[in-house]
Amino acid sequence: MPDMIAYCGPAAVPDDLWTRWNVDPLLIAILAALALAVGRSRSSDTRAGWGAIVLMLVIFVSPLCALSSALFSVRVLHHVLLIAAVAPLLALAFPQRRASSPPLVILVAAHAVILWLWHTPGAYAWGLASVPAYWLMQTSLLGSAWLLWRAILAPAQPGPALVALVATIGQMGLLGALVVFAPRPLYPVHFASTAAWGLAPLSDQQLAGLLMWVPAMLPYLAAGVSIAWSSLRSSEPAL
């Protein structure tokens, strides 16, 4: 299986990992513009905005980016951080302000389709084959997740938001389970690189599936508990 060099560059190995920082000028400029917007109080939640920026620095600038070129499990961790951590923080920092957004069911379905599409082997390989394809993958994952989280966290009836969270947890868990129990490696990997990190390709894939199956669900569960608790408290009669 041929090596792929995507946006994050050649697969990192243990000897050079901590030298593999990404200083793409365009990326730095975009993050600086976002930091300027947060710093000038154009966000509704400044702490959430700064948190999103820090996580994006970890995902795209730190050596985690180069490590995601070596291990499929790290690429999945990259995606999990993007959709389950950066996206809700951006939704808090730049929330939904109009009631005319797409229906929640459409947002849930669109995000699920995009997530599953990019984790089919063919689309995944294409998404890493060039810089434009890579950024199409990243922006569609983050954009659809941000729109979904904005709708979930918007002040509204808690019922639809809880259903959306359960549906998202369910489809992510199913995708993770399919990856875990696949009998053979499905995704293009650097065989030499996985070996350098002490993993066989199938083990790397199973670890990726576990990340999407269990840890990825925690932010959605936390949001669901918070929404349900707030709903219960607001429905309690005043003493």
Model pLDDT for residues 116-132, shown as the tens digit of each residue: 999 999 999 999 889 99
Other CB atoms closer than 10 Å to residue 22's CB: what's the count? 18
- The answer to whether residue 109 is domain-embedded is yes
- The answer to whether residue 2 is domain-embedded is no
Containing structural domain, residue 46: 17-234
Residue 21 clears pLDDT 90, i.e. is over it: yes
Contact (CB, 8 A) for 22 and 8: yes
pLDDT value for 96: 79
The residues that bridge with 9 in the sheet, in sequence order, are 6
Over residues 26-33, mean pLDDT: 95
- The answer to whether residue 239 is domain-embedded is no
pTM to 2 decimals? 0.91
> For 80-127, what is the HEC assignment?
HHHHHHHHHHHHHHCCCCCCCCCCHHHHHHHHHHHHHHHCCHHHHHHH
- The answer to whether residue 6 is domain-embedded is no
- The answer to whether residue 8 is domain-embedded is no
Tokens 């400044």 correspond to 46
- The answer to whether residue 195 is domain-embedded is yes
Instruction: Tell me the pLDDT band of 93, cut-offs 50, 70 and 90.
Output: very high
d(CA 75, CA 67): 8
Count of structural domains, the chain: 1
Q: Which amino acid is at 1?
A: M
- The answer to whether residue 213 is domain-embedded is yes
Residue 100 clears pLDDT 70, i.e. is over it: no
- The answer to whether residue 4 is domain-embedded is no
